[in-house]
Structure 1
Amino acid sequence: MEDMIPTMESYIFGCELSAKTNHYTFKVEEDDDFEPNLSLCTISLGAEAKDEYNVVEVTGRDHNDEDITVPIATLKLSCQTMINLDNFVIQPPVTFRLKSGSGPVMLSGQVMVAPTPLDSEDDDEEEESGDSDEEEEELTPIKPANKKMRN
């Protein structure tokens, strides 16, 4: 029987931030077989928004696995009601917070779930050993071919 190759799946994501609910944390249960990512597409003001600055910030993990908080959107009804993030991808857990303003602010995107490669440690070891074999081959001197001219 052929091995089934897992495929990437995606799900719609959406949340609303307001004065009543000013933060939302997106997290998933850890699973060694799948690696989820959140791809944000748009952040927009809701129909009930006032003409005030609404600042949305995100707290996630940086490459050193430390928390980092950065603003990702500043919206105002009279000048900018929506921004396109062009698939801003972040790994959970991540917290979105309405830092200022009363909203409502809508965040939308998709959750992408990719299968984790099986035996990734074994593959890394093979690649490392493969690299060393290649280096050894490169260091092996090449003997010139005998040049015999025939007339």
Structure 2
Amino acid sequence: MEPHGPGSVLFGCELTASTKSYTFQVDEQDDFEHVLALSVVCLTDGAKDECNVVEVVGRNHENQEIAVPVANLKLSCQPLLSLDNFKLQPPVTFRLAAGSGPVHLAGWHQIVHREDASFEENDDLSEEEEEEEGEEELAPIMPAKKYRRKQ
């Protein structure tokens, strides 16, 4: 996938008995920061009432492969799991560790210029600082003046 500019692109893949894994990768040589934000994992049409375990396979800080289960779906009790835009850094592999699916994964591929990514981090800090400064600049609340009524 060749990004044409910053933004978000809809992402989706399906894991089945015949396609047990899917790897999401990007061109690491481009000038973009890539994030995969998973929104939902769900069983789709044709799924059996069995446990379907989906794992995320990545690398730890020692470059060793690790697999972490992110969903355990069963048609009769939990056919869908919302992941609330769970963010992953590519490359990342999704694997159907148990069950035969089909399991559909959906989310967003977020693309940001590397310079913009660092600017956004600094911008977030400055907004917090501005909020703190804004709180300091507020004038104290003074009690209302008492007026005497003329009789």
* TM-score normalized with structure 1 length: 0.70
Secondary structure of the structure 1 residue equivalent to 2:115 = coil
Instruction: Choose from 4, 7, 10 the match for 2:8.
Output: 10
- What is the one-letter code of the residue matched to 2:74? K
Matched, 1:60 2:62: no
- Structure 1, unaligned stretches of length 5 or more? 1-6, 121-151
- What is the one-letter code of the residue matched to 1:9? G
- What is the one-letter code of the residue matched to 1:73? A
Structure 2 CA distance for aligned equivalents of residues 110 and 63 of structure 1? 25
Matched, 1:27 2:22: no
Structure 2 CA distance for aligned equivalents of residues 112 and 45 of structure 1? 24
Displacement of 1:61: 2.8
Task: Give CA deviations for 1:33-73 in whole Å, capped at 9, x if unaligned.
Answer: 11101000000001100000000001123345443210000
Question: Residues 32 and 116 of structure 1 are in contact (CA less than 8 Å); yes or no, is this contact kept in structure 2?
Answer: no
- What is the one-letter code of the residue matched to 2:112? A
Instruction: Choose from 66, 69, 80 the match for 2:67.
Output: 69
Instruction: Choose from 98, 105, 109 the match for 1:111.
Output: 109
* Percent of residue pairs bearing the same amino acid type: 55
Question: Residues 55 and 100 of structure 1 are in contact (CA less than 8 Å); yes or no, is this contact kept in structure 2?
Answer: yes
Displacement of 1:117: 1.6
Return structure 1 stretches of 4+ with deviation > 6 angstroms.
none
Structure 1 CA distance for aligned equivalents of residues 89 and 61 of structure 2? 11
- Structure 2, unaligned stretches of length 5 or more? 119-151
- What is the one-letter code of the residue matched to 2:37? S
Structure 2 CA distance for aligned equivalents of residues 42 and 34 of structure 1? 25
Partner of 1:144: none
Partner of 1:98: 96
Structure 1 CA distance for aligned equivalents of residues 43 and 85 of structure 2? 18
Structure 2 CA distance for aligned equivalents of residues 77 and 99 of structure 1? 16
Instruction: Please tell me whether Structure 1 or Structure 2 has the larger radius of gyration of its CA atoms.
Output: 1
* TM-score normalized with structure 2 length: 0.70
Question: What is the root-mean-square deviation in Å for CA atoms of aligned residues?
Answer: 1.7
